[in-house]
Structure 1
């Protein structure tokens, strides 16, 4: 896995003095240690773009989606994050069928809260199907990022 951020699209300004930028990571099957690297890369992207106000929320939601993709699928995943005038958009693509469904975890449960957190904290989120697999995405609006 590459740890250097994708610098394409940087340098163009966005309202509020922020710069735009992108991050892209390909993660291998079951590569849970890579979740930490993705969080670090996302925080660096947000820092470079001057969009750190919601870095903690962005990291949490990204971690949840990446972990879900690596735990609940039998292939790797691709993470893409972009900062632009509208804010931050993160997509986590996996290569298996089946739609993720949020469910209410019990107080004793140690899992099952990921999509509920995304629903509660993101300004928008959804699932986009592909010919092979799907992408689960979320957005944080410009004023929050």
Structure 2
């Protein structure tokens, strides 16, 4: 699975004409959805990898559409709780939560009686435009 982290789209129009507006709207909408999807896939993959490497248990991954975008959470049943680490250059693990923090709008860890819940939200700029 390839993740496209391109974060800019530029369209040069030598002339703006009424018949082009619909095409431009759809193109911009498609790019916004793509960027949201890329970050959601990367974030969900990080949550799953963290559970696989550290929890040694089953898990539940939930993705929900919310008014402002998307909310994804993972509950695992491991004994420990995820922690943000500061790995050295030579360590091969410990960067997942820092990576997650870099691509999502909000995230958190909730200790549970049996396991942990790690979640993140991504805002959808297309939805935010309607809320303004």
* TM-score scaled by length of structure 1: 0.59
User: Who is 1:102 aligned against?
Assistant: 84
Per the alignment, residue 124 of structure 2 pairs with 142
The structure where helix makes up a greater share of residues is 2
- Give the alignment's TM-score, normalised by structure 2: 0.64
Q: Which runs of 5+ in 2 are unaligned?
A: 4-31, 128-132
Task: Report the structure number with the largest CA radius of gyration.
Answer: 2
Q: Does residue 76 of structure 1 match 2:58?
A: yes
1:3-30 CA-to-partner distances (Å, cap 9, x unmatched) read: xxxxxxxxxxxxxxxxxxxxxxxxxxxx
Length, aligned pairs only:
98
RMSD (Å) for aligned C-alpha atoms: 2.3
Superposition deviation, residue 60 in structure 1:
1.2
Question: Which has the bigger relative contact order, CA under 8 A and spacing at least 6?
Answer: 2
Question: Unaligned 5+ residue runs, structure 1?
Answer: 1-35, 40-49
